[in-house]
Every structure is written in structure tokens, then in C-alpha cells.
Amino acid sequence: MAKIQLENITKKFGELTAVNDVSLEVSDGEFVALLGPSGCGKTTTLRLIAGLEVPNEGRILIGDKEVTKLPPRDRDIAMVFQDYALYPHMTLLDNIGYPLKVRGVAKPDITARVTEVATELQIGDLLERRPGQVSGGQQQRASVARALVHQAQVFLFDEPLSNLDAKLRLEARAFLKHLQQEVGVTAVYVTHDQAEAMALADRIAVMNYGRVMQLGHPLDVYRRPANTFVAAFIGSPPMNLLPCEVDIHAGKILFEGDRVLDIASYRERWGGVLKNGRDITLGVRPENIAISSTEVPGSIPSRVYVIQPLGGEWLVVTQVGGELVSVRLFQDEAPELSENVWLKFDLDRTFLYDKNGDLLQ
Amino acid sequence: MRNYESTFSKLLLVLFSLACMAFFALPLLWLLTAPFTPMTTLSVEIPDNPTLDNFRTVFKNEFAIRALFRNNLIIAGGAMLSVATVATLASYGLSRTRVVGRDILVYVLMLFSSVVGGTAAMVPLFLLAYHLQLIDTHVGVILVMTGGLLPAAIFMMRDFVDSIPRSYEEAALVCGAGPFRIFRDIAFPLVRPGVAVVAIWAFVNAWGAFLIPVVMLRSPENMPASVALYSFYSEAGTPVHTLVSAYAFLYGLPVLVLYLLVNWRFGFRFFGGIKS
């Protein structure tokens, strides 16, 4: 076990800056997910930690040892690849035992250790087969077994579940979480699936354009997005983002189409940080909006656009001026809504972002 | 009316194809029947009483037999080994490193291959071999053959190596393996079908070579079978059909066997230099 430190890491491929001045610290035994859209630099960051790429600038430390320019084998890491990278010409036994074979472990010891790990992962009876002769889920377990077989200090996962179908993915997710809690190993996990990141990680680093946009506990990242990118990326459906103007002296937020929201009681919270009331974005999660068929104080009018049943809940999409606002209703019966409804935001869970998209707090 | 037309044109097409087939198949048929016929002419005829006498006579020709079973095996085997080894290593290097102008390099190499292996370069190649004292040695022939075959071999192999996902090697890197170990344990087993195809291709090319051995070699006991074939010509310079066909039959067998072997082991797909 060891901590990982990235200090001001920059990686360029020709003109393209894949990772831009990223600093990140993963504590001993912590599970950190790198989350972001494709091309955001998350996989490159992982490959930099693995030693498959060398940074242009910055330092990487694993434990207390600087490894910035060391090859992978001198870093004591284990990695699970997106395509599993199981060698097609070897049996699962040879595949899983390969890290031990490379380290010169005696053959009987390799067989014993591989059998132990494989049995734990419920693929103990498949060891004589080749990767092509087992299912996708079993291949995935085999690739995890290969990472587990030698007790590395650091575990790296590169989208290990993205090649599984939906049902298997949920199973494998639970299995990985259980495994991580049991082994308690330091892990960095790359994914583009926010649900996976939320479910597995102790902390999430949301990345975009090679930068870390927010780093924090999954629920903090969800409840209090640090900028509009994170707000729009996390959550399904994501946070509602509405352009508006704020007149803090009058205690009002003005939306398109002369809709006015009274925020007089929140003047203190926002008054200190608001320099200019123009080009503001208001962010509120769909579950933090109450909806009613009649006008109530502190609400804004809107029109129902579509109602979608989602089983245990309802997703009501309404129109405020030209913007669509999603509202989640947790009730069994179909909501009885007229065409015109009033939306009341939970102002304790409503956030304002400046014109650069950063949270005003 | 239209139906008649299409049937007629189909019939014509079939007849034309049959004619073409016969044109190419007849010499091969001759090669299968002639060696077993006591008195061969140039026409294809099923022998009434097949005989192995022709082969007995051929085996009495020490010069020709040594050419086929010793010199040809040395030259073709040597060329196969060196082409397969160098092409595998070179294409792996070309595929896995970032070299500026890599693709141009490969195409220029391709262009050179037709020069090195071709007639135009025979004089400089002869002079080079002369100064290196490689005239009348099998090593000299093997080197020239290798030089001629390598570029095309590298071109074919590179496609193979390019098709192997890099994550296999990266996984091995993370497992702690060094470059040599990765090549031996991971990369080579994965490109083995490609190596086999290139090796057989080099073998067949060197097996049938005539011009390079006849220029590079001096003494009769070093000549390969393609040259030794002329020992079955009469003093007047006309071929003795029975013996030439029997010898040619023996000469062609190893190539056929190799083809069947590789086909059985790996399957002959077309692994060409064509980007899909």
C-alpha cells in the first residue's frame, strides 16, 4: 500500500495537451475515480501513473519514491485494461501467473497462488482454458486476478467494466467494491460512467480538457458542483442550468420572459460574492424543485412540456421561457398537472455560477 | 428473349473459363503423368503401365541429387531463416517506435527490393560479392536473396504486427517484463502465423531462384536444382522429357508439402500490405 502524488503534471502529444498541470494526491488505501467525457485526459493520467507515458512536466511519487521517469516494472503497480489484454495464446493459469513468472517465482508456487486468487474470484475451475474459451465476465475476472496475484502497492483500472453488458456490469461493480474494501488497496479507477464512479470511489476527480474540474467525495461533487461543467456532467438527468440576472439589492433573480424569483432572504448568502449581477447561471437539481398546479409564494411559472414515468418516480420536463427544466417527483401515482405549473426551488440547494461557470460561494 | 440472351452469354463465359483453365492446367497435368510414363512426349497421356524407372535414373545423377537435397535446402533454408528473423525484428521495431517518415521509409524500401533482387543490380552485386570473397559460396547467394526478399517481407510483416493491439505489450510491461521478455513471451507468439507465411514465401522464392545462383556460384557441386535441371538435357541441347519431368516433379514436391503444412497449421489467408 502506498499513496500516489501527482505534482503539476503536464503531458503533450504534439500540439495537443492531454493533461494540463494536474496535481492530485491519492492517500494510502484510498479509491479515487477519474471521471470525464472521452478525450478529457483521464486515461492519459492513468497511463502516466502506470509509467506507460512519461510526463513533459511535473513529478509523480508512489509511496515516498519518485517514479516520474521509471519504467512500469520499477513502480510496483498492477493494472486492469479496458480490453482485458489477456494473452490469447496462454491459458488463464499462465495469464494470471504471468506477473509472478516474470518475477522469477517457482512454478509450484505460481500454481498455488494463482489457484488461490482464481478460486476467490470464482474462476478456479477455468484455469486450463484460454481467454477465447470463457465468457466476457470471466475474462474480466481473470484480468482482475492477474492484477491481484502479486501484491502490488497500487491498483490502476482503465474502464474495466465498459465491455460488459448492463447486468454483468452491475454485478462486477458490486464485486469490485467488495474486493477493494476487503483488500484495502490504493486504487485509481478511470471511467466515463458517473454511476460507476459514484458507487465505487472514496473521492471523484472530474476531468475536462486535461484539467481536474473538481475533486471531492462523490456526494459533495453531486450536491455541490464546483462549476457548470461538473453540474452538467454529473447526475441523470443533470443539474438544471438557467441563465439569469441577479438584482441583489432588490433581492430578485430575473429569468428570461420577465419571470422573477424572490431571494430576499438569501441576500446575505450571495450578496458578498456577487460582483456583477449579469451573465449568472442558476443551478438546481431536478429533485430539489417542488412543483404545484397553483401559484405559491417564491415560485416561478412554467409550462409542462412532457411527463415521463420512470417506475418509482416521475420525470416532469417543463419550459421556463426557452429553457427546459427537469423536475423529479417521487410518488407512485401519476402527477395531476395542468398545462401551467409553478416551480419552487429549494434555495438551500440552489447555486449560482458566474460567467466563467465557477460556483459563487 | 432476354432469358435466352443471358443463358447464351453465361454459356460463353463458362466455355471461355474452361479454355483458360485448360491452358494453365495442362502443363501441371503433364508434370503429374509424364514422370511415370516410359516414353514421354509433350502431350498429356495417362500411362498404360506406370513406371518408376525415370526416378531411378534421376537418382543415379549424383550432381542433380546433391543440388536438390543439399544445395537447394541450404540456400532456401538459409534465406528463409534470415528473411524471417530480420523481417520479424525489423517490422516489430518499425511498428512499435515513433520514427519520423516511417511510412515513406517502408515504401522506398519496397521500391529498392525490385532493384536489389533484379537483373539490373547483378554486376554491382557480383563485384561486391567478389571483394567480400563470397563468390562460389552459399552464404553469398543467401545474402543476396535475403537482400532482395527482405523489403517485401518487412512490408508484409508490418501489417501483421500493426494488427496486434498494443495493450498486450503494455499489460506485460505493467506485469514487470522487460523488452526482450515481452518480445519472446507475448509479441512473437502473437505474430507467429505471420512469421510462418513470410518464411514459406521466402523459402519458395529462394527454392526456385535461378539467376542469382547461376551468377554467384562457380563450381558445379554448389549449384542448386534450378541449374542442375540442365544436366537432363542431351548433348545436343534438347531436354530428355522423361528425366526432366521426373526431376521437376521431385523439385516441386517440397514446396507443395510446405504449402499444405502451413495451410493446415495456420490457414492461408491473405495478409497483404493493404490497409483495410
Q: What DSSP string runs through A157-215?
A: EESTTTTS-HHHHHHHHHHHHHHHHHH--EEEEEES-HHHHHHH-SEEEEEETTEEEEE
- H helices of B163-240, in order, are 166-175, 179-182, 188-207, 211-216, 225-228
Kindly report the three-state secondary structure assignment for every residue of A201-257: CCEEEEEECCEEEEEECHHHHHHCCCEHHHHHHCCCCCCEEEEEEEECCCCEEEEHH
3-state DSSP assignment of residue B236 = coil
Chain B residues closer than 8 Å to A102 by CB: 172, 175-177, 181
Which has the closest alpha carbon to B152: B200, B87, B211, B93? B87
Please return the burial class of B240, using the count of CB atoms within 10 Å of its CB with bins 0-12, 13-18 and 19+: middle
Average model confidence (pLDDT) across chain A: 89
Is the omega angle on the peptide bond into residue A237 within 30 degrees of 0, that is, cis? Answer: yes
Amino acid in position B131: H
- H helices of chain A, in order, are 42-50, 92-102, 107-120, 136-148, 166-183, 194-200, 218-223, 228-233, 267-271
Interface-testing mutation among A49, A53, A73, with chain B (most B C-beta atoms within 10 A): A73
Tell me, yes or no, if A81 comes closer than 8 A to chain B by beta carbon: yes
3-state DSSP assignment of residue A302 = strand
Chain B residues closer than 8 Å to A73 by CB: 173-178
From A202's Cα to the closest Cα of chain B, the distance in A is: 25
From A146's Cα to the closest Cα of chain B, the distance in A is: 9
Chain A residues closer than 8 Å to B170 by CB: 50, 52, 79, 81, 85
Q: Is the dihedral of CA A214, A216, A222, A226 positive or negative?
A: negative
From B161's Cα to the closest Cα of chain A, the distance in A is: 15
pLDDT value of residue A111? 94
Mean pLDDT of A152-172: 87
Q: Residue B225 corresponds to which cell in the numbers above?
A: 536444382
pLDDT value of residue A287? 93
Q: Write out pLDDT tens, residues B68-96.
A: 889 999 999 999 999 999 999 999 988 88
Between chain A and chain B, the number of residue pairs with CB atoms below 8 A apart is 57
pLDDT band per the 50, 70, 90 thresholds, residue A95:
very high
End-to-end CA distance of chain B: 43
pLDDT at A102 over 80: yes
A186-191 β-sheet, strand order: A77-80, A154-158, A186-191, A31-35, A203-208, A211-216
% chain A with pLDDT above 90: 55
Which residue of B lies nearest to A156 if distances are taken between CA atoms? B174
Q: Give the span between the Cα atoms of A231 and A253, in whole angstroms.
A: 20
Which residue of A lies nearest to B192 if distances are taken between CA atoms? A89
pLDDT band per the 50, 70, 90 thresholds, residue A286:
very high
pLDDT band per the 50, 70, 90 thresholds, residue B100:
confident
List the single residue in B167, B177, B185 with the smallest CB-CB distance to A73: B177
% chain A with pLDDT above 70: 100
pLDDT at B102 over 80: no
DSSP letter for A287, please: G
List the single residue in A52, A83, A102 with the smallest CB-CB distance to B181: A102
Query: B170–A83: do the CB atoms touch at under 8 Å?
Result: no
Chain B residues closer than 8 Å to A85 by CB: 165, 167-168, 170-171
Q: How far is CA A262 from CA A344, B130, B223, in A?
A: 11, 99, 103
Query: A77–B186: do the CB atoms touch at under 8 Å?
Result: no
Q: Give the span between the Cα atoms of A310 and A52, in whole angstroms.
A: 43
Predicted complex ipTM? 0.81
- Residue A149 · residue A113 · CB < 8 Å: yes
Strand partners of residue A158: A190
List the single residue in A52, A83, A89 with the smallest CB-CB distance to B173: A52
